Amino acid sequence: MTKRVLLCADGQSLANPVLLGLSDERLDSIPWLACVSSAESCRRTARAISSLEELWVVSCDDMDSINVAAALKRDDPERRVYLVSFGNNGSLASRAAAAKLDGVLNELLFAKRYEQVKRACGVQGKASSLQSGEEFSGQRAEGVKGKSCFQGECGAFPERVAAGPKTPREPLPKSGISAKELRATTIAVVSGTGGSGKSTVAAVLSLLSRNAGLSTAVLDADLQFGDMDYLLGLQEPVRIEDVAEDGERLQSIAGQGSKERPALVAAPRRIETAEVVVSEIPTILETLRSMFDVVVVNTGAFWSDSQAMVLESADSVVFVMDARPSSLRATAHAMELCVRLGVATTGFTFVVNKHEKTSLLSAVDVACALHGAKAFEAPYGGRDVDELLGAGYPEELLASKNPFVEAMADLLEGLLPGKKREAVEKERSAKKRKPFFLRGGRS
């Protein structure tokens, strides 16, 4: 019989199905079920068996289940991928939603889905289609602590399962961009070490985007030491903990930016708040994507769950390092972590920041060390960059002919699609025709 479902679970659970709540089953002898226990075999099997309609990820011998599930969904977005979790974990549910999984099943829902698929396949081998089904997805199945899945406890996402697949709604036009490009482009800026200039890169990219007429938001996910409000010259911004307390606050930020400066969801006021608000990141990102053309996410140097959430949601990732060999080693170390987590790194752009002719590292060195990765040199912009940003004069910095700003504009053009890229190109062409006046004199 054709394999219809792939089950990923650790070896001990596959050998003892009672641990999965399937006490009377012999999983290795079920004709419609393919069982694997490692991340690599899971992805390899999913690619090899085209008849698979659903993928269930319970656990794994060598990787977190959420990362396996997210990788499977990226490999084939058309297949239904369910994460199975027997605990009540809000952070896990948020990460699953950010990865666009089709649901999170608790123990009761998993057992129920198993029985439904078993009946659909039939003891006589009937080949009926495995629909998500009204019986499975539409009813108020009891979940953790006796609450229904529509109350958010069982983890099934109502917007995705309540009536099967939905036709995407056509969003309202923004900034003259075609319907195909309406979904916000999310750019994550990360680094492996502190002091590489990551926050400055994120700030200038967002300023350039807004200056080109694109509605732009910044999420400062450097939850401990983020200072994007300072770099962007924004007073009293909405902060992540404000949004956590009142979700309506997020809707107000669209009017808090200006013609020249992006809107901002700032880092927490207090360091100790970081662990509390980290689970809010996927929800905030998803909302910002529906409100703006471009979303730039600044991250911290310390790698944690927040980086994984951001990387899974980003359309483009800018990995910033400086010209020190130690920065390259830290970058390679972070890439090894991404591979273990199942995060695709093929779309990463590596920026050698503060580059000078005498620097020890070049883009060629980085590309060779990272096995042919895209590498980009950002020249040192001198004191003007820090002084103008720090003094609250970002417009003057953008209007200057600073080599760092020009490099960031080149980088931004490569990160944006279609008409968004054209908007940046048009703004750069217009700027070349204007004279530049620095405050206090003429340059």
Per-residue pLDDT, 170: 37
Average pLDDT on 329-337 reads 88
User: Which of 48, 42, 74 is CA-nearest to residue 61?
Assistant: 42
Residue 133: Cβ within 10 Å count: 16
β-strand partners of 319: 190, 350
Average pLDDT on 333-357 reads 84
β-strand partners of 136: none
Among candidate residues 161, 193, 225, the one where a domain is terminated:
161
Residue 174 lies inside a defined structural domain of this protein: no
- What letter represents residue 206's amino acid? S
Residue 397: Cβ within 10 Å count: 22
Residue 125 lies inside a defined structural domain of this protein: yes
Please state the φ and ψ torsions of residue 333, each to the nearest 5 degrees.
-65, -40
Residue 44: Cβ within 10 Å count: 12
Q: pLDDT tens digits, residue range 169-197?
A: 333 333 343 433 446 899 999 998 888 89
Torsion sign, CA atoms 363, 364, 367, 372 = positive
Per-residue pLDDT, 319: 94
Query: Tokens in use for 185?
Result: 């482009």
Q: pLDDT tens digits, residue range 360-417?
A: 888 888 888 888 888 888 999 988 898 888 887 888 888 888 999 999 999 999 999 8
- 223 and 337 in a single domain? The answer is yes
Query: Tokens in use for 437?
Result: 């006046």
- 191 and 150 in a single domain? The answer is no
Average pLDDT on 198-203 reads 94
Structural contact between residues 220 and 263, judged by C-beta atoms closer than 8 angstroms: no
Per-residue pLDDT, 24: 79
The DSSP call for residue 267 is P
- 273 and 354 in a single domain? The answer is yes
Among candidate residues 128, 161, 194, the one where a domain is terminated:
161
- 281 and 389 in a single domain? The answer is yes
Residue 107 lies inside a defined structural domain of this protein: yes
Q: Rounded to whole angstroms, what are the CA distances from 329 to 1, 192, 336, 350, 370?
A: 50, 9, 11, 13, 10
- 20 and 119 in a single domain? The answer is yes
Residue 240 lies inside a defined structural domain of this protein: yes
Residue 171 lies inside a defined structural domain of this protein: no
CATH number at residue 47: 3.40.50.2300
Burial of residue 182, with CB atoms counted within 10 A of its CB: 0-12 exposed, 13-18 middle, 19 or more buried: middle
b/e map of 240-263 (b: 16 or more CB within 10 Å)? bbbbbeeeeebeebeebbeeebbb
Per-residue pLDDT, 248: 78
Per-residue pLDDT, 106: 87
Residues in the chain, how many?
A: 443
Number of H helices, E strands in the chain: 19, 13
- 328 and 388 in a single domain? The answer is yes
Per-residue pLDDT, 82: 93
- 363 and 228 in a single domain? The answer is yes
Per-residue pLDDT, 147: 33
- 104 and 203 in a single domain? The answer is no
Q: pLDDT tens digits, residue range 128-148?
A: 455 554 334 433 333 333 332
Q: pLDDT tens digits, residue range 52-92?
A: 999 999 999 988 888 889 889 988 999 999 999 886 555 67
CATH number at residue 196: 3.40.50.300
Residue 117 CA to residue 303 CA, distance in Å, equals 39
Query: Tokens in use for 242?
Result: 């404000």
Give percent of the chain above pLDDT 90. Answer: 30
Residue 378 CA to residue 200 CA, distance in Å, equals 12
DSSP, residue by residue, 156-177: --HHHHBTBS-PPP-PPP-TT-
Burial of residue 357, with CB atoms counted within 10 A of its CB: 0-12 exposed, 13-18 middle, 19 or more buried: exposed
Task: Decide if pLDDT at 234 tops 90.
Answer: no
Residue 437 lies inside a defined structural domain of this protein: no
Q: Measured between alpha carbons, how far apart are the two ends of the chain, in Å?
A: 76
Per-residue pLDDT, 91: 61
**Least confident residue range of 154-163, 269-278, 421-430:** 154-163
Average pLDDT on 337-362 reads 83
- What letter represents residue 56's amino acid? W
Strand boundaries in 231-291, DSSP class E: 238-239, 263-266
Domain that holds residue 399: 179-432
Per-residue pLDDT, 318: 94
Residue 338 CA to residue 208 CA, distance in Å, equals 29
Residue 439 lies inside a defined structural domain of this protein: no
Task: Decide if pLDDT at 155 tops 60.
Answer: no
The total of structural domains in the chain comes to: 2
Residue 136 CA to residue 295 CA, distance in Å, equals 36
Residue 299 CA to residue 310 CA, distance in Å, equals 8
- 103 and 206 in a single domain? The answer is no
- 109 and 79 in a single domain? The answer is yes
- 130 and 198 in a single domain? The answer is no
- 420 and 287 in a single domain? The answer is yes
b/e map of 70-82 (b: 16 or more CB within 10 Å)? bbbbbeeeeebbb
How many Cα atoms sit within 13 Å of 200 on the Cβ side? 28
Among candidate residues 161, 196, 219, the one where a domain is terminated:
161
Query: Tokens in use for 297?
Result: 């996410």
Residue 105 lies inside a defined structural domain of this protein: yes
